[in-house]
Structure 1
Amino acid sequence: MPRTIRLYVRYVDAFNRGVGRFIMYLIFVMIAVLLASSIARTVFNSPFNWVVESSQFMMVAYFLLGGAYSMQMGAHVRMDLIYGRLTRRRRALIDVVTILFLMVFLVALLLGGISSTQYALQYGERSYSAWAPPLAPIKIIMTFGILLMLLQAVSTLFKDIAFAIGKPLAEHPALSEERS
Structure 2
Amino acid sequence: MPELTTSGQIWVGGIALGLVLWFVFVSPRLVPMLKMTMHGVGDDDRKFSFVDIVTLYMASVLMFVVAMIVSIMFYEVVMRYVFEAPTLWVEELSRWLGGVIFLMGGLYAMQQRAHIRVVIVYDMVSRNAQRVLDVFGTICIVTFCYAVVSGYGKTALKKFETWELYGSAWNPPIPAVMKPLICIVCAWMAVQAISNLIMDWSKPKVIHDPADDL
Band of TM-score, shorter chain: 0.7 to 0.9
Matching residue's letter, 2:182? M
Matching residue's letter, 1:24? M
Q: Secondary structure at the match of 1:125?
A: coil
Q: Which residue of 2 aligns with 1:64?
A: 103
What is the rounded CA distance, in whole Å, between the counterparts of 1:17 and 1:54 in structure 2? 24
Q: Equivalent pairs: percent with the same residue?
A: 26
**Which deviations, in whole Å up to 9, do the C-alpha atoms of 1:13-43 show, x marking residues without a partner?**
1111221133233111111111111111111
Q: After superposing the two structures, state which structure 1 stretch, 103-112 or 76-85, moved more.
A: 76-85
User: Do structure 1's residue 81 and structure 2's residue 120 form an aligned pair?
Assistant: yes
Superposition TM-score, scaled by structure 1 size:
0.77
Q: Which residue of 2 aligns with 1:22?
A: 61
User: Do structure 1's residue 93 and structure 2's residue 127 form an aligned pair?
Assistant: no
Out of 179, 184, 190, the position equivalent to 1:139 is 179
What is the rounded CA distance, in whole Å, between the counterparts of 1:101 and 1:122 in structure 2? 31
Report the CA distance shift for 1:38/1:116 in structure 2 as closer, same or farther (over 3 A).
Answer: farther
Matching residue's letter, 2:196? T
Report the CA distance shift for 1:138/1:104 in structure 2 as closer, same or farther (over 3 A).
Answer: same
What is the rounded CA distance, in whole Å, between the counterparts of 1:31 and 1:117 in structure 2? 29
- Where structure 1 has 5 or more consecutive residues not aligned to the other structure, the ranges are 1-8
The answer to whether the 8 A contact 2:165-2:171 is kept is yes
The answer to whether the 8 A contact 1:13-1:72 is kept is yes
The offset of 1:88, in angstroms, is 4.5
The answer to whether the 8 A contact 1:110-1:143 is kept is yes
Report the CA distance shift for 1:130/1:115 in structure 2 as closer, same or farther (over 3 A).
Answer: same
Q: Which residue of 2 aligns with 1:153?
A: 193
Q: Which residue of 1 aligns with 2:80?
A: 41
| Bigger relative contact order, structure 1 or 2 (CA pairs below 8 A, ≥6 apart) | 1
The answer to whether the 8 A contact 2:88-2:170 is kept is yes
Q: Which residue of 1 aligns with 2:158?
A: 119
Report the CA distance shift for 1:42/1:100 in structure 2 as closer, same or farther (over 3 A).
Answer: same
**Which deviations, in whole Å up to 9, do the C-alpha atoms of 1:76-102 show, x marking residues without a partner?**
011233224444443332121022111
The offset of 1:58, in angstroms, is 0.7
Q: Secondary structure at the match of 1:45?
A: coil
Superposition TM-score, scaled by structure 2 size:
0.66
- Where structure 2 has 5 or more consecutive residues not aligned to the other structure, the ranges are 1-47
Q: Which residue of 1 aligns with 2:27?
A: none
The offset of 1:119, in angstroms, is 1.2
